[in-house]
Structure 1
Amino acid sequence: MILTLLAQMRFFAVVFLLVLTRSSTIKARKCPKECSCDDSKLTVVCAGKNLTEIPLGVDEITVKLDLKNNNFQMLPRGSFLHTPYLTHLSLQRCSISKVKEGAFRGLGRVVSLNLAYNKIDILYQESFDGLSSLKELHLDHNHIEEIQPGAFMQLGLLNVLALTHNRLVYIPNMAFQGLQNMKWLRLSYNSLNNLAPEAFAGLFALSRLSLDHNELQFFPTQTMTRLPEVKRLELSYNRMTYLGEGSVSMRKLTHLHLDHMSLQDLSDQAFSQARLLSHVDLGHNQLRYLEPLTGPTKLAILNLTGNPIYCDCHMRPLKRWATVGGAKLLGACAGPAHLSDEPLRTVTSSHLRCRSGADALKDEEEEEGEEQESDGDITATATPKQTVKCPLSCECDTEAHHATCESRGFNKVPQGFPTRTQLLDLRGNHFHFIPTSSFPGTGRVVSLHLELCKIHEIEGGAFQGMRNLLYLYLSDNDLTSLEPEAFAGVPKLTYLHLEGNRLTQVPGAALSLLPNLFVLHLERNAISKLEPAGLPSSAAPTLMDLYLSNNAISGIAKGALSFAPIGTLHLDSNNLTEVPADALADAPRLEELNLSGNSVRWIGPRAFRHASQSLRRLYMDRMGIEKMSKEALLGLGPGLTVLTVRGNQLRELPDLSALTGLETIDLRDNPLLCDCALLPLRRWIDNAKLEVAATCGHPLELRGQQVADTNIFATCPENATISTEMGAVGSRPVKIKSARVKARPGKPKLDKVSRTQHRRKAAKQKAKNKKMNEAKMGN
């Protein structure tokens, strides 16, 4: 009996201990007080708690973390290092405006990241570094205006990228490089009006592309040919008015959405290079007729709903083609009256008849009499219009206010456009000469395209009367100069494109008639020098952005930039041999300076002193820079956010410690000498709050290693003075109180002989630096 009681007592004691152990284990599981945690699902929810920092008490085994509806504003580097097992992360509606490089480092298991409904404006290089398993990325409903090349390089497994409802206007070349497994790219609801030819290069697996609800005026044929696997393309709600021959050259495309645009006509050869098309949606455009479509052999549905289709004899070929090919025509007739609202699929060829010439002429005269313009009001007609006021061979859309005569072989500017026209496209013609008053009746035109027109002379007053013109494109012509009165009569002009001409100087006299000019493009001209004489003080008093890339500029005289409050200055790919330091004194508001691609071997002391208070972004890539003075960046401080010196010949760098506001720095492809003279840079990298890419070029055994990873600095001797002359890092000699960094675990300590050898090496380097300094002082 006693033995039985003892056994029972032991049993209950064991059970009690197990329960106690289990209870203590559960209590030990981490869960921030602001959050709710589900241990069985390994889920943590901290939504709507007005948190300003990522909570630190989240258990490291958490796989799903919900942080939506908080107020983080910025995601710093290493924000999630304490939760390495996350697979799903929600950060929508958190007022995030910046994502620092390395913010997601350590999240190699995350497959879904939601950053929607935030305030992110720029996607920086390596913003998503560490997300190597990511499959879905939601960036919709942000303020994104720019995608920097390399932003997605780490996301090789990404399948879906949502960038809808942002502020993108332009997609540059290689913007999505690295996304080789992307299946669906969503760019709807932006303001895209231009796509670079290589914008989608590298998207080898992309099968669906959404570009609806943007501002595209032309089908981006050249860009789309880089998408060999796309099957579904959505371009609805853009501003296209015409599709020319071979516009759609996509060999695997099956579904094409071109509805709710301004299409007034399209070539029967528009889809000739898209033979697999099965569904084409052309609904709610301005199409009155359509020729049989050459190319698609498997077309099942052609949607023409909402178009003013006029069902007469001109529609017979399309109807016959659809019947033979088995394509279903969706939509209804808008006229003539006896066929109004009759479904296209039920109309027979016998119904599609043309009236006699006299009757047709009578109808046209009646409709012209009904089209009255009284300061902008157009009286609606009971039947679709058969004629529109428009020059011969051109297309005019009175509803979208667009007119185009692109590449029609004109040698004189056509006239007679609808008075409400706002966008006038004349590119690709052969005008050669634009005489005075060439654009009568175009007082409402906002954007005028004259690219690739072989123009070599513009007479004074050529644009007279275009009082609402904001955008003028004169790119890729043969202009060598501009008359002083060339831009008379366009006082509102804001954006002027003159790139790709043969101008030898900035046309300052002509610019003096443009009091509202904001952006001036002069890339790819023959300008060799900037002189104050050619730029009167009255020239473009509001100019902020001046682009002079790819000219032959070898010098900028002092006072040459004093004519405008320039904020952005691009001088890349010119013939400069030194930083135009004195000229920058005339640009006190300069925020962005691009000097890349010039041949500048040496950056002297305080080279950017005159712009030090305003400069935010400085680009000096591929310039062949061999040395920078230790004071080269002196004066630049927390205001500088971008610094790039990639692809130069630098062995050492100046002091970077004052640049505490940097968000992007690129030191790659420089043959840095990794010895004790570079120790201050190594320490700066260790303390920096952003990712710094810098590799060793010397000595040979360290070539290719990251400066941040090499152990060479652990051997720097105690109390060594690191000379900074001739470009060494640091603005003054650095006394290292304890330069011998503790050896990492597993690394053997140096013996006495090795320490002696390193001291001798340091002494030789010191003597060498001293000799170089004396030589410099002697010069």
Structure 2
Amino acid sequence: MTKMAAVYTSFVLIMLLMVSSCLCYCPLEKSYNTGNCSYRFHCIRVIQDIGLPEHCQGSTNYHVKVNVYLSDAIDRFDKSMNPKFLYSITSLRASGVWPQTNLSLIQYMPQLQTLNISGNQIEKITENAFYTLTQLEYLDLSHNRLSDVEGLFEFEMLPNRMRHLNLAHNEIQQIPSSAFENLTSLIELDLSYNLISYLDENSFDNLTNLETLRLNNNNIKNQIGALNALGNLTNLYLSKNEIQIIDDDSLELLKHLVILDVSWNQLDVLTPELFLRHWQHFEGRAVCKILLSENHLTFLPNATSVELMSRFTRHDHHKKRVDVLTKLDLSKNSITTIEYNAFRYLVRLTSLDLSQNKLTNFRVNADDLVYIEYLNLSKNYITQLNLECFLSMNRLQNLDLSNNYIDGIPDLLFINNYQLKRIDMKFNDLKVLENLHIKIFHPDEGILDLSNNAIYKMNIPSGEGMRLKKLMLQSNNISDPTNIDLKHQIDLEHIDMSNNYIQYLNSSSLCLPTNITHLDLSYNDISKIAPATFHKFRQLKTLRLSHNDLTGIEYGIFQGMTSLVYLNLSNNDISYLDSKVFIDLRSLYILSIEHNSMIFLDYKGWVAHKHELKVYIDGNNFTCDWLGTALSDYNNNFSKMRPYALNGGTGKHSLQGIPCVQKEIGELVQIDSKSGTLTDSDRLLAVNLKILEAIKNQTYVLRKFMWHSLYAESKNI
């Protein structure tokens, strides 16, 4: 036994060594040549058994790029490593668990330009780890546990080449005044998701080239003035801190910013100078974003400084020919009052979001709204719309007035606007619209959402609402569909009248344009549809009649609807359905009849259907015998109808994932569900129809051939 145990132990050791050696190298199958002297490697634990071709080692003819991903990394230099190869590495991503490290491995990689050691649980980096990395441009230390960065970024050569530094998602509480003094080339610094509560006045003094600074998701209060030395900063992210006030000391910095994000803070007072920007600083075109959402603002005061007003008039702006656009987000505050000249400093305001405030009206200087393209006033307490403001907004494209208390659209409100793409007025108090007061929509898109109001009557006369393509009227008080007169809207394609109180439809019920392609009448109380109800709508492709009270479908209901592709009759109370009632639906591709408790479906009328027809049948009482025959007829090409299930089933009460019921249930009713299947005569008819179709196609080909032959002969003559 001892000898056997020794042999077994030796075997286990050999296997462990083999496994270990397999795990500690750079597999060939994970090595890629991406160009001349450009490689990508994936190594495990250590970097060994790998090298570069001779002509790429120290090459001056080729730009050597070596990208290495080292997983489960051992944080030390191993003698088995190839120093020449390490010297050539230009990009390293190393992942491991290193609570404390001096990063000894990178001391042999002086050509490193990109270093990513994020997510390694690093608490402390010692011994000037980056000192010799004179080529380093991008350093990612995010998602670690660093709390102290003092003395961490010291380099052998100054100025260094570091341009991007990521310290996000660490545990940094304080930025010492000397922490970044050597990083004069830095253009982006990410300190987000840390524990910083205080900014030292001199912490960022040497970052004179910094353009983007991320300090969001910290505990910073009011020391924004510490950033005033950042003369080239254009993007500042301060969201989700504890800032209560922006004082005069910090305004000089803020005027240079293209993006200022102070959302999710505790601002309760807003100085209008915050909106000012030094337009000449942006050298041409720029889109400025000022984000102040999720604060405690209640009041927007006038811009009253005469000195500043004279500097930033629109006349001066146009003379400089600086194309600067501004997007302002003030959503999710508690604003009750906006003074008339509150937006005076915002030259070319194109986007304004005031949603989720406490406004009862919106009346500001119309001159400040001339360039507005997007305006969001949703979720306020507005009852009326100010004519003066909207008359000036002739560039307005997207308007959200939802969740207010508006009961009408004033005359001439949109008389000067020809660019409207989308108007959202859902959840208001609209009841009767005798005139839309919108002359014309944008050529590309016209959408009007009037859902969740109390509309029972609506009329859009000829010459109004031109280019309106989609109208939503769901969840209103429509009981008589003749009160919805849209017949003059020749561009209207999509109409949603779902979730209303319509009970009956006939040929005169729907005063809709004849060219509509989508009509939704689901979730009404429709119990009867008379023949020829939809005969005018020959371009209709989608018709939804689900969740109504229909008990049957009469012949002629779908008369003339040759373009219909999708029909939804689900969730009604239809027990009997004869496919012959769909005889006009030659283009029908999908039919939904789920959840009708249906026991009978005669599909003989679909023998010669134009397309394969998908019929969703789950939630009914079709027997497994009927379903088996229907599937067999489809699979043998006798029928174009293929049963499907949206919510499939398995076990003895399903076939091919489609639920069915035991025969005894089908026998409880007087109608034998098997009579809905094809007879031998029906199958013979299906075969004959296919033969006739083949003969028709062959005849067409022969005629075409003969015509070409006669044409060729006539040319020769």
Please classify the TM superposition score into its range, dividing by the shorter chain length. 0.3 to 0.5
Q: What is the TM-score with the length of structure 1 in the denominator?
A: 0.43
Higher helix share: 2
Tell me which structure has the larger Cα radius of gyration.
2
Q: What is the TM-score with the length of structure 2 in the denominator?
A: 0.47
